[in-house]
Chain A
């Protein structure tokens, strides 16, 4: 078991979570809670596969995945923003609809066979950095590098640009933003759409890069929900989200790889000799999500940090409150 191999693969797996988490951060920062991430990811993964099967072009597939998931997200946007329904229930509904749609439209895709996958690159020079180079810049899918760019870009956009300030305003105090002439309703639609596109990108990252193929609901196996948990852990900050995502990716990889060797650190490997104990390893990512949520929630209570103040609340012009 080689630590660099696990961490290298962990970064790739973490990239899935990274896209989904940053997408959800943008939506939630605008004040819209979207619990449909898992469904949007499945739609993204499915439509990416469909496109590749039909046209053989993975780049086109990425685009289609993002648009498909973005369009799906607008169902939630209309119901939550315009119809002012409960965002929790609406997000759950979107999730079920996304799962069901991708199952029906993805029928037969699991037999798709050899596919045109996204290319992988090794970055010259950077990959020569001892230890880190092998983990971060060697034989990675192009999506991983897109992820590296997205982290600072999202942070800079939210914290240092004018549209980013508007984003924070409509999530914290939409009435004031509205008074300043910011179109709260339209912008919330935009950020839910962007969140959907990133979830679709996350789905396409699974089916075209990290674990290629279509395995119906098992394609995402809870990544969308882990991403929603990570948003809370990250306290709506893209950089913390990246740390959480990569840590989770490494954990997932470690679970797979720890069952292979006969001995670990000179001791008999219990997971090799008693393979069924692996089921307890499989629980770890989900238990970790809960642990991470507890940590995030406690920290938020102590520091009096919180979610965006208007998160989950519809904005109605002229009504009192946020």
Chain B
């Protein structure tokens, strides 16, 4: 280390080229797409280096992953199923991140959503022969409420006591897992197994394969109604953030909280509201997963959707409409990663891609110049 206590001394030689950052105004439109694409490619290259260091064959793995995620109709349907919770979670996170509220508790809010929906079926609040037209909306409402409660707590603590929401949301993830486990093991267990009984058909979201009688080509396709919920939610969130008056308040608060305060915006109220909405959407993701895929409450319902959604939201530049295609890509990564060894590959790729993405943001904010170093003094 260059000792700060030592007196300044003249160095005999310094690297003759220096990197200089010049702030730029609005970057050209094409640059954003180019930089994002470049960052993702760089991330995949770095991931390939690590994979080969760990003794794998990265190119074969990547080719296999593309095929396992998008190669045929069946796996594409599975990929879209994996994308569904990501779209819901990431749309909510777009809103929170726009206000610079770092909700990393999506995972816990997802679990609570699944709990809320399960409570309707298993308590039971509604008898199993209830019409799906009543059962599904009840599950959706309970799940979103439960998720919203999980968002309310950090929102309230943040607005009331200025408690860091990053840590509270993350801590609540662990609480949520234990909360669900208690109900899975002790209350709703089916004969001592670590899962509840299967939900009645009235609590299932319709799937494509349910219509195989009329359309035989749909046989075996697991895609369910949750995707429609997700796309609607993404469009609504886009409108809320970028077209509504309240969304303008949220964006202004995120960009410049001081100006927002002078403009008379109720930041405390919006903090609670934004985290509740983001929690409710995460809860809806939990409902969709439990009613559309798993059809029971159990421990392993998420391969880390809540965390992947953070990267999705960032990759989509906090635009819920872009969240949809990005989620499909990440859904593919999760889908393909289930069969690939070592099992941490999708998580590693997600992490490395996020690092590259954030580093590359430099090119959006600054013009990078390499300059001959001028002699100092």
Contact = CB atoms under 8 A, between A and B. Distances in A.
Contacts of A97: 348, 351-352, 354-355
Q: How large is the interface on A (under 10, 10 to 19, 20 to 34, 35 or more residues)?
A: 35 or more
A107 B351 contact: no
A182 B163 contact: no
Nearest to B344: A103
A101 B1 contact: no
Q: How large is the interface on B (under 10, 10 to 19, 20 to 34, 35 or more residues)?
A: 35 or more
Interface string A210-238: 00000010000110011011001000000
A2 to B, nearest CB: 26
A119 to B, nearest CB: 31
11 contacts: A85-B361, A93-B351, A96-B351, A101-B352, A104-B51, A104-B344, A107-B341, A163-B4, A279-B181, A286-B174, A287-B175
Contacts of A163: 4-5
Contacts of B349: 100
A92 B342 contact: no
Interface of B: 1-2, 4-5, 8, 21, 50-51, 53-54, 102, 104, 157, 161-164, 166-168, 170-172, 174-175, 178-179, 181-182, 185-186, 307, 310-311, 314, 341-345, 347-352, 354-355, 357-359, 361-362, 365-366
Contact of B362 (A83, A221, A228, A289): A83
B25 to A, nearest CB: 16
Interface of A: 35, 39, 75, 78-79, 83-86, 88-90, 92-108, 162-163, 166, 181-183, 186-187, 190, 216, 221-222, 225-226, 228-229, 232, 274, 276-277, 279-280, 282-283, 286-287, 289-290, 293-294, 297-298, 300-301
A181 B166 CA distance: 35
A235 to B, nearest CB: 13
A181 B7 CA distance: 9
A103 B345 CA distance: 8
B179 A279 contact: yes
Contacts of A102: 344
**Consensus secondary structure, chain A interface:** helix
Contacts of B171: 222, 225-226, 229, 286-287, 289-290
Contact of B348 (A103, A183, A226, A276): A103
